[in-house]
Structure formats: structure tokens, C-alpha cells
Amino acid sequence: MIIAQLGNPILRQQAKALSTEQWKEYATFFADLESLMLNHQGVGIAAPQVSESLRAFIVASSPNARYPHAPAMAPTLMLNPEIYWMSEEKEKDWEGCLSIPGIRALVPRSTKISVGYEQFDGQKIRCELSGFIARIFQHELDHLNGIVFLDRADSHDYATEAEYRKRLGLN
């Protein structure tokens, strides 16, 4: 499994939804996707990032070298995810992406969202997310819609990974 990099056309395409029955064919794929994300110290990854046009992503917030202040959340596979509501309150915070290595940007995102998604067993989940977890969900959902985080940031808010780490005192 290889992570698609910025410039790969798959990152600019709308991903397709699948039925619960069709998801079963992807059990091994989702396990591999989670391992890849964790091995690269990601906090989320979307299927299009590994060249699969599927409306699926994993959210797995956990403190690591890339996100030392991330809250802990068990890896959660989210199939056919959607946002029902977004708070008007937005906050700019740093984001990075496994498909755009070496670059970070301050991205404005809603601080609270109401979301829905299906689990692998077909169960439908509806919940509210806030803070960093809401940020991850919005970032990954953008991948399913052909949007990358740089599209949402002002170009004056870009930084290299080294500069980002320096600004946050992580060196």
C-alpha cells in the first residue's frame, strides 16, 4: 500500500459510496489502511489516499511525534460518513497530511460538528464531535470530496514541517 501524494488525480476526485454488503470485500484493505496510518504516525487516513475511491476513512487520534498533543481515541473506521451540522464557531489550527509530507498549514474548521457514518457491521452511528477529533473528521471527509487541507488555508499560513516544529517548540 502506497500513500498517494499531492498531484495524484485520485486526491481530487469524489469517492464513491458502497453498500454494507460491498464493504465486506474490503476487510483486509481496512486493516492494512489502519496499519499504514499508524506506521506513519497519522491521526486519520482516507481510502483515496491509497488510491481507492471509497467513501471511507479511519479516525485514530493519539499522541505521537507528528501530533504530540492529540487526544486519545481508538481507531474508528467510518463508512459513508457525512456531516449533518457544523458550528458557526471556527478555529484555526495546524494540520498536516500524509499525502502532503513536509508541509503544515493553519486551517479554519468548525469546532463542533454533528456527524453520521456506518460501521463495518452496518450499524449506523450518529454523534457529535468537537475539538481535534472534529478537525480530523472534517479533514478526512474533505479527502472523500477531492479537497486537500491546503485548499482551505491561506497561503500565508503554510509552513514547512521544520518551521512548524520550531514554532511549537517541538525540536
Which tens digit of pLDDT belongs to each residue from 53-106? 999 999 999 888 888 888 999 999 999 999 999 999 999 999 999 999 999 999
Architecture of domain 9-167: Alpha-Beta Complex (3.90)
155-166 mean pLDDT: 90
Does the structure show a pLDDT above 90 at 10? Answer: yes
131-159 mean pLDDT: 96
Check whether 97 is labelled as a binding-site residue.
yes
Domain ranges of the chain: 9-167
Check whether 156 is labelled as a binding-site residue.
no
Which tens digit of pLDDT belongs to each residue from 26-59? 989 999 999 999 999 889 999 999 999 999 999 9
Check whether 40 is labelled as a binding-site residue.
no
Q: Indicate which residues carry an active-site annotation.
A: 140
- The predicted structure's pLDDT at residue 53: 95
**DSSP structure string for 35-102:** HHHHHTT-SEEEGGGGT--BSEEEE-----SS-TTPPP---EEEEEEEEEEE-S-EEEEEE--TTSTT
- The predicted structure's pLDDT at residue 3: 96
Does the structure show a pLDDT above 80 at 165? Answer: yes
Does the structure show a pLDDT above 90 at 169? Answer: no
